[in-house]
Amino acid sequence: MTNKYGTATNGGDLEHKLEHGVERATGAAHHTIDSVSDAARPAIENLRSGAHRAVDTAGDAAAHAAGALGVKGEELQEQGKVIVERAGSYVREHPVASLGMAVAAGYILSRLMSSR
């Protein structure tokens, strides 16, 4: 059909078809987004769960290491106390020998330091 100027009047049809096409494309895009989102949920959940397990494992390892270091530190402190006690006992039991060793050690250290 044509109007009084001789142009086709089916422009309304074309506009309607375009609007309908846009609506279908928009609906299809929303559907695709929902489908992809639904498909990704298990993978995201697995990733989240794995990340939590990794953090828990690292935390457990760090706690274990801290405990082991604490025990070792206490053991070293005890050994240091024992060495100091033994040295003190030796000095009390052998004062002349201890004095001789101290003088000899001082002499050796002074020679080493003065050669530099």
- What gap in Å lies between CA 97 and CA 91, rounded to an integer? 8
Question: Does some domain include residue 31?
Answer: yes
Domain count along the chain: 1
Secondary structure (DSSP) of 31-84: HHHHHHHHHHHHHHHHHHHHHHHHHHHHHHHHHHHHHHHHHHHHHHHHHHHHHH
Instruction: State how far the Cα of 92 lies from the Cα of 69, in Å rounded to an integer.
Output: 34
Rounded-to-integer distance, Cα 55 and Cα 73, Å: 26
> Would you say residue 2 lies in a domain?
no
- Tens digit of each residue's pLDDT, the chain (116 residues): 455 545 455 557 888 888 988 899 899 888 888 888 888 888 888 888 888 888 889 888 988 888 888 888 889 999 999 999 998 899 889 888 888 898 999 999 998 998 76
Global model pTM greater than 0.75: no
Residue 107, helix vs strand vs coil: helix
Residues near 3 by beta carbon (within 8 Å), at least 6 away in sequence: 9
3 domain-assigned? no
* Assigned domain for 72 exists: yes
Q: Is residue 5 part of a domain?
A: no
Q: Which domain holds residue 80?
A: 11-114
pLDDT at residue 1 in the model:
47
